[in-house]
Each structure stands twice: as structure tokens, then as C-alpha cells.
């Protein structure tokens, strides 16, 4: 018994140490209590109050949620925003055509008037956050079923929101933390006039494209510049040419000093979603059941798109963002599975489960937690066949096809009519008509059909027949089991696949419209699927998933109680977090050591003239040959990217990497392949985030693009003034 508790103590000590550098996505308002001391011991020179304060301007006032999915930061007193090229991608693309190709050639406004409006883009600042757990959980019984609990919480949130103190033009939202054991309210300011200021050509901003994506060593100048515009009194306002550049409470100075191995760094941004506290069974389901389905289907879709994009420049512009999105997750899942395998990730999950179990059995107070891990395992097992089939449905008919979007437009219209009547319908169908026209611009139905066939065959071969809805089976049988013929018929006879036919349909009044819609084979195909999923597969899944959510919530609370010596950080949920670590290389595999920094030299090593992914602009080659780096080079070389042990995830793209003094030294944009499993199993030995070196960003803006007016509005730290003058 004594021996056991000693090893227990030792083991938890190990956990504590393991957590202590790098791991964690921390809440800015709790830094003082939980992290400040450690951050200082790692070299940080500023205080928690300098990072997050509601009393004075602090770093957080420069951190901006970019379009809801990425992070960006303000780097000048005139609202200049820095984010990734891949975050601005959709907006850059929307201003691109074959004649004026911003993706290919880059773009640099020469003054404010030339900055380009980006419709739909939002820039959100966090004013303040506060704990509202007690109000949110008011009246919720400890043993309530998930559904009742959710309803009550929603009601409570509706009641609380108006009571949160804020200015009239500020928004508020409430989010659950620690698997909904705790709730925070966020007061925000949402700016809707955001304009594109500058972007390097793809050959820099996306250098290495998908081959290099998620990979170190990296040579991508993954950045772009935007600007926030504000209305009267510097407040959020809708787009207006008369708006003025936003004057921020704080903006990040940029340091030219560079980084060394072991330097403190922190990344401040909006990480999207992680699942750090999964039990072994939850992690196994992801790695062994769901990821393989996703990877296999996307393999097929991507091969088809890639072939078409290489063959035709127009198709390349059309499909580039779509391809990038699908490929990005595909490659991440492959890396995640790889990392889990080489670090024995599932065994580590199992160890943690048994450690938890041991603590629980050793103390009668913890008796109520005795079955949590086993119950979770049971529910995951029962969910598995359904979740597997559902994943196939999603990957086959939803996530990798455009067809479904057109169906969704139509079914949305049916809902409009049924919910709000003919007048609303008439208004909406005209909007949809225009929307669809714009949408067709980026779709090639032949490619879509080819993907449908390829994924459809895989779906049919691998999904348990019990989960294949009858309409699909009948349809296939009617075509003699020939998926090609079935797809050809679907695509050619539907009104949704042809812009002119769809436009004509949208001109019809409801009675005629609905008759045509009901007869449309694609509408029927998806309607029947939806009926089946809603009434059967998805219903089964959400039954188990509700139970899993309930168990995971209890498990999270139990972990915190059972391991009082551990510091727990909540899983990412698209809210503002601080993560910190060090600049450091790593050992990806036996016999290989990766250094922490890359240089422009690597671009020239990878250079393949005229290549789709590895071409290099002439101007950049010239600057390299002449070593014309201005004040941004170091010892005759141009630093390009670096890595560190900051715990980041999707959504952290565009986040600033900040040095010990609060200056920007890099721009986060990716993680290393072996380490993408950090979303479920952070391991400091191989989990690294990748940042563009701030000096490379400035070099590209200044020396490559000649947009020095932008550099002039920034505040540079450690600048050798003489050098800049000589440039």
C-alpha cells in the first residue's frame, strides 16, 4: 500500500513536470493566479497585467478574432492587421480573376484609397471576460438529463445576456469551459469594415503549398495585411468609404532582434477546438475509426481535383481554396495518427485512465467516480458503428461535394415558405438566385460528378448495408449497380446543376416552384437521405453522444478534484487564450534532429522553375543573389521561419508569437506533422508550432514589394536605423 502511494505520488509529479513547459491554452484573466510565476521563470519580462487588463491598454487589445476562424493582430496605430496568407485567402481570391490575379501576383495598396473592401469579413476585439457559472447553472439539478440541462442553460443565458454591463454597440456571448463545468461571458466589439491592404504572391505566401503544409523545415511567407476601419468616434460601423482607420488601445511593436534556442515565446490567439482529456477509448475511436474514413475519402476527392487544377489555370483559381481546405484537414489527420503511433499516444491515455482509477479506488470520497471511465468506454463502443457510418455519409455526400450546397439553398427556401409564408419566400428566392450565380463561379459540375462517383463507390463498398438508406440502394439498382450511370443521370437531369435552369426555377412562384423542386432527382436524393439520417442514424448517434457529453463533464470535474496538485487548462473553444513555450528544435525520428530556424537559402534549395508549388519569383531570387536584405538579415542570411513548443491548434493561425518583452517576433501559421496530435495528446518531445519570422515579413513588404509606407507606420524595435536608410 505504501509502495503504491509512493509510485502514485511520483507519477503525478511526473505529470506535473510534463505539463510545466509548453502544454496548455490558458485563460488570459487567470494568468496571474496560474501562470505568471512560471512564465517569468521561463524568461518573460512583462507581467500578467500587461497581457490582460481591463483597467489599461494591454496586449489583449491588439489581438483580433479574424473572420471567426483565424487570429490577427494590430501592428500599427492605424489599425493595420497582420494575419496569415491562408486566413486572408478567400478574400484575396474573391478579388482575383484570370486578368487580375491577386493570388498569383500579390497585391499592395499604395495608399488607403487603394485598400480593398472585404464583404462579410469581421474583426472582433475582446473587451472583457467574466465568470458567469453560477447564473448559467442556476436551477440546474446535478442529475438532470443532458437535454433538460441544455434547455435550462439556454434559457438562463438569454436572461443573463442583457444584464451584462456593456456599451450599446458591444456584443456579448457566453461559452462553456472544462466540458461545460464553467461558463464565461465575453464582451466584444465587432468591426465590419475590414479591407485588404497587401499580400505577397502565392509563390511566397503559399510557397510549398500542400506538399510542405504541416511540415518542418518550412519556407512559407504565410502572411497578409488588412486594416480595420471605424466610424464616428472610432466605434464599429458598417462599411462606408468615409470610415477612418481604427485607432487601437494597443498595437504590437515588432522586434527585429530575432530568436535563439531556449528563448521564451508566447502565442496569443483564438484556438478552435481540442480534446485533451479524452479517455483512451475516445481517442481510439478518433484515431482508429473516424480518421481512417476521413483520410480515405479525401484521398480520392483530392486526387481528382489536383489532376484538374494542374491541367487548367481557370480551374486552379476556382478550386484552390476548396482544395486547400479539404487537403489541410486530410493531411492533419494523417499526421495525427502518425504522432499517436510514434509516441504511444493510446498507451499514454490508458496510463492516465488507470492513474485516475487508482486514485478513485484509494479514496471512498471518490466512489461516485468509480465507473466513469468504464461507462465512457461502453458508450463509445455502442456509438462506434453509428459514428462510423455517419462519418461516411458526411465525407461522401457533404464535405467534399458542391452539389449539397445547392440542395441546401433549396431546402432552406422550403423552410422559409413553411415558416414565414409566401412573401418571405419571394424575397428570399430572388436573393438565392443571385447567390447561386456567384456560387457557380467556383464550381465545375463535371469535377463534382467525378468526385461523387469515386466517393460513392467507396461508401457503398464500406458502409454496413444496414446503414445505407433505401432510396440510394433502389436508385443504384435501377442503374444496374453502376455508380457512374447513376451519377450521370442525377447530375444531368437535375435543375440544381445548371445555372440557367436554377435561375429559371428561382423565377417561379411557390406553387410552380415546389412542384419542380419535388420532382428534382437531386433534391429527392438529399431529402430522402436527410429523412433517414434525422430519423435514424443521427438520432442514434446523438443519443449516445448526449450520454458521452454528460460523462465527459463529470469526468472533467472528477479529474480536477482527484488531482488537486495538477493545473488544468480548459480545452480550446474558439475563445482568447495564451499559450507559452520556448523556441526549440526537436527529434522527429531516430537519427534526425530538426533545428529551430530556417533561412531564405531553403527557398532556393526547394526551387523548381515553373512548378505549381515551388516556383520562386524572379525578384526574390535577385534579392537573394545580391543578399539585399536591408536591416532585416542576420549575418548575411535572411531568417524565414522558426519553431517552438507553444501549444497551438487550428484557429491560432495568424496569432502573434510574442517575445519576453511583449514585442511581435513571429506569426504563427502551422504545426509540425508529427505533432498535430497535440489536439488530443500534447507531447512536448515532438509538438511544435511553426511561425514566420517577423524579419521575413518586413523584408517582403519593404524590399520585395517596395511598400515601405506600411513599414513606416509600424513601430520597430532593435532597428539599425542607418541600415534602413541605406536600403
Catalytic (active-site) positions? 86, 222, 653
Mind spelling out the 3-state secondary structure of 7-61? HHHHHHHHHHHHHCCCCCCECHHHHHHHCHHHHHHCCCCCCHHHHCCCCCCCHHH
Segment interacting with ligand ASP, rule: CB under 6 A, options 50-58, 122-130, 148-156, 651-659: 651-659
How does DSSP assign 156-184, residue by residue? HHHHHGGGS---TT-EEEEEEETTTTEEE
**CB-nearer residue toward ligand ARG: 251 or 323:** 323
* Residue 168 phi, psi dihedral angles, 5° rounding: -60, -35
Residues 619-648 that bind ligand ASP (CB under 6 A): 648
CB of 670 to ligand ASP, least distance (A): 5
Inter-residue contact 664 to 657 (CB < 8 Å): yes
Is 649 among the residues that bind ligand ASP (CB under 6 A)? yes
Is 653 among the residues that bind ligand ASP (CB under 6 A)? yes
Q: Using the rule CB under 6 A, which residue among 581, 650, 662, 666 binds ligand ASP?
A: 650
CB of 508 to ligand ARG, least distance (A): 40
**CB-nearer residue toward ligand ASP: 78 or 645:** 645
Is 274 among the residues that bind ligand ASP (CB under 6 A)? no
Is 328 among the residues that bind ligand ARG (CB under 6 A)? yes
Is 670 among the residues that bind ligand ARG (CB under 6 A)? yes
Is 94 among the residues that bind ligand ASP (CB under 6 A)? no
Is 35 among the residues that bind ligand ASP (CB under 6 A)? no
How does DSSP assign 95-156, residue by residue? T--SSS-HHHH-EE-SSGGGPEE-TT--EEEEEEEEE-HHHHTTT--TT--HHHHHHHHHHH
Is 652 among the residues that bind ligand ASP (CB under 6 A)? yes
Position with the least CB separation from ligand ASP: 653
Inter-residue contact 153 to 181 (CB < 8 Å): no
Is 209 among the residues that bind ligand ARG (CB under 6 A)? yes
Mind spelling out the 3-state secondary structure of 53-96? CCCCCCHHHHEEEECCCEEEEECCCCCEEEECHHHHHHHHHHCC
* Strand 254-255, strand 716-717: pairing: parallel
Is 671 among the residues that bind ligand ASP (CB under 6 A)? yes
Inter-residue contact 223 to 132 (CB < 8 Å): no
CB of 224 to ligand ARG, least distance (A): 12
* Cell numbers found for residue 607: 526551387
**CB-nearer residue toward ligand ARG: 86 or 250:** 86
Q: Using the rule CB under 6 A, which residue among 67, 456, 651, 656 binds ligand ASP?
A: 651
* Cell numbers found for residue 23: 502544454
Peptide bond into 284 cis (omega under 30): no
- Give the C-alpha separation, 452 to 521, whole Å: 15
**CB-nearer residue toward ligand ARG: 550 or 670:** 670
CB of 272 to ligand ARG, least distance (A): 10
Is 324 among the residues that bind ligand ARG (CB under 6 A)? yes
Q: Using the rule CB under 6 A, which residue among 122, 213, 297, 416 binds ligand ARG?
A: 213
- Give the C-alpha separation, 660 to 284, whole Å: 38
The angle formed by the CA atoms of residues 505, 506 and 507, to the nearest 5 degrees, is: 90
Q: Using the rule CB under 6 A, which residue among 86, 294, 298, 555 binds ligand ARG?
A: 86
CB of 689 to ligand ASP, least distance (A): 6
428 binds, among ligand ASP, ligand ARG, none (CB under 5 to 8 A by kind): none
- Give the C-alpha separation, 352 to 566, whole Å: 13
Number of residues this chain uses to bind ligand ASP (CB under 6 A): 9
Binding stretches for ligand ASP (CB under 6 A): 648-653, 669-671
Binding stretches for ligand ARG (CB under 6 A): 86, 206, 209-210, 213-214, 324, 327-328, 650, 653, 669-670
Amino acid at each position: 500500500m505504501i509502495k503504491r502511494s509512493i509510485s502514485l505520488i511520483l507519477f503525478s509529479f511526473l505529470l506535473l513536470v510534463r505539463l510545466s513547459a509548453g502544454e496548455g491554452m490558458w485563460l488570459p484573466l487567470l494568468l496571474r493566479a496560474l501562470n505568471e510565476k512560471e512564465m517569468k521563470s521561463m524568461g518573460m519580462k512583462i507581467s500578467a497585467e500587461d497581457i490582460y487588463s481591463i483597467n489599461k491598454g494591454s496586449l489583449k487589445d491588439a489581438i483580433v478574432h479574424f473572420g471567426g476562424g483565424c487570429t490577427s493582430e494590430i501592428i500599427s496605430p492605424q489599425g493595420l492587421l497582420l494575419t496569415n496568407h491562408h486566413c486572408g485567402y478567400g478574400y484575396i481570391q474573391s478579388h482575383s480573376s484570370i486578368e487580375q490575379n491577386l493570388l498569383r501576383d500579390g497585391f499592395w495598396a499604395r495608399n488607403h484609397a487603394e485598400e480593398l473592401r472585404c464583404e462579410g469579413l469581421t474583426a472582433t476585439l475582446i473587451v472583457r471576460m467574466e465568470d458567469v457559472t453560477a447564473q448559467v447553472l442556476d436551477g440546474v439539478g446535478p442529475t438532470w438529463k443532458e437535454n433538460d440541462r441544455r434547455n435550462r442553460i439556454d434559457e438562463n443565458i438569454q436572461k443573463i445576456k442583457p444584464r451584462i454591463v456593456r456599451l450599446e454597440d458591444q456584443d456579448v456571448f457566453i461559452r462553456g469551459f472544462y466540458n461545460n463545468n464553467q461558463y464565461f461571458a465575453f464582451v466584444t466589439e465587432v468591426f465590419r469594415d475590414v479591407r485588404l491592404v497587401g499580400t505577397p504572391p502565392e509563390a511566397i505566401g503559399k510557397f510549398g503549398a500542400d506538399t510542405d503544409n504541416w511540415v518542418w523545415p518550412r519556407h512559407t511567407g504565410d502572411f497578409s495585411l488588412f486594416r480595420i476601419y471605424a466610424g464616428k468616434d472610432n466605434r464599429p460601423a458598417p462599411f462606408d468609404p468615409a470610415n477612418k482607420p481604427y485607432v487601437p488601445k494597443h498595437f504590437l511593436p515588432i522586434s527585429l532582434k530575432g530568436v535563439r534556442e531556449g528563448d521564451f515565446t508566447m502565442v496569443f490567439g483564438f484556438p478552435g477546438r481540442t480534446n485533451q482529456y479524452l479517455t483512451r477509448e475516445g481517442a481510439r475511436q478518433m484515431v482508429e475509426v473516424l480518421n481512417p474514413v476521413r483520410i480515405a475519402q479525401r484521398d480520392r476527392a483530392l486526387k481528382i481535383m489536383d489532376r484538374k487544377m494542374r491541367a487548367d489555370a481557370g480551374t486552379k483559381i476556382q478550386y484552390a481554396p476548396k482544395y486547400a481546405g479539404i487537403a489541410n484537414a486530410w493531411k492533419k489527420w494523417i499526421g495525427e495518427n502518425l504522432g499517436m503511433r510514434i509516441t504511444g499516444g493510446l498507451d499514454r491515455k490508458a496510463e492516465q485512465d488507470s492513474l485516475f482509477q487508482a486514485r478513485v479506488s484509494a479514496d471512498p470520497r471518490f466512489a461516485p467516480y468509480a465507473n466513469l471511465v468504464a461507462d465512457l468506454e461502453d458508450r463509445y463502443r455502442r456509438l462506434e458503428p453509428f459514428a462510423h457510418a455517419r462519418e461516411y455519409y458526411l465525407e461522401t455526400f457533404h464535405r467534399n461535394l458542391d452539389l449539397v450546397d445547392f440542395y441546401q439553398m433549396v431546402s432552406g427556401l422550403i423552410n422559409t415558405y413553411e415558416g414565414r409564408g409566401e412573401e418571405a419566400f419571394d424575397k428570399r428566392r430572388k436573393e438565392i438566385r443571385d447567390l447561386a450565380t456567384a456560387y457557380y463561379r467556383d464550381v465545375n459540375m463535371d469535377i463534382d460528378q467525378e468526385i461523387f462517383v469515386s466517393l460513392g463507390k467507396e461508401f457503398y463498398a464500406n458502409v454496413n448495408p444496414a446503414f445505407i438508406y433505401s432510396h440510394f440502394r433502389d436508385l443504384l439498382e435501377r442503374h444496374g449497380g453502376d455508380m457512374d450511370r447513376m451519377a450521370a443521370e442525377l447530375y444531368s437531369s437535375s435543375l440544381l446543376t445548371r445555372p440557367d435552369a436554377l435561375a429559371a426555377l428561382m423565377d417561379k412562384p411557390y406553387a410552380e416552384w415546389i412542384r419542380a423542386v419535388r420532382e428534382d432527382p437531386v433534391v429527392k436524393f438529399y431529402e430522402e437521405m436527410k429523412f433517414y439520417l434525422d430519423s435514424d442514424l443521427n438520432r442514434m448517434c446523438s443519443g449516445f453522444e448526449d450520454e458521452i457529453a454528460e460523462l465527459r463533464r463529470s469526468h472533467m470535474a472528477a479529474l480536477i478534484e482527484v488531482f488537486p496538485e495538477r493545473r488544468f487548462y480548459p480545452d480550446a473553444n474558439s475563445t482568447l487564450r495564451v499559450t507559452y513555450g520556448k523556441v526549440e528544435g526537436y527529434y522527429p525520428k531516430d537519427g534526425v534532429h530538426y533545428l529551430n530556424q530556417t533561412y531564405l537559402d531553403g527557398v532556393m534549395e526547394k526551387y523548381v522553375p515553373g512548378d505549381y508549388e515551388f516556383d520562386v519569383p524572379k525578384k526574390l531570387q535577385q534579392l537573394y543573389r545580391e543578399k539585399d536584405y536591408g536591416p532585416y538579415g542576420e549575418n548575411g542570411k535572411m531568417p524565414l521561419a522558426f519553431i517552438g513548443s507553444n501549444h497551438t491548434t487550428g484557429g491560432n493561425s495568424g496569432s502573434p508569437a510574442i517575445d519576453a518583452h511583449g514585442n511581435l517576433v513571429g506569426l504563427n501559421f502551422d504545426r509540425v506533422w508529427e505533432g498535430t496530435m497535440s489536439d488530443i495528446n500534447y507531447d512536448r518531445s515532438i509538438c511544435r508550432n511553426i511561425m514566420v519570422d517577423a524579419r521575413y515579413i518586413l523584408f517582403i513588404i519593404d524590399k520585395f514589394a517596395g511598400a515601405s509606407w506600411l513599414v513606416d507606420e509600424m513601430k520597430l524595435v532593435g532597428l539599425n536605423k542607418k541600415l534602413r536608410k541605406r536600403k
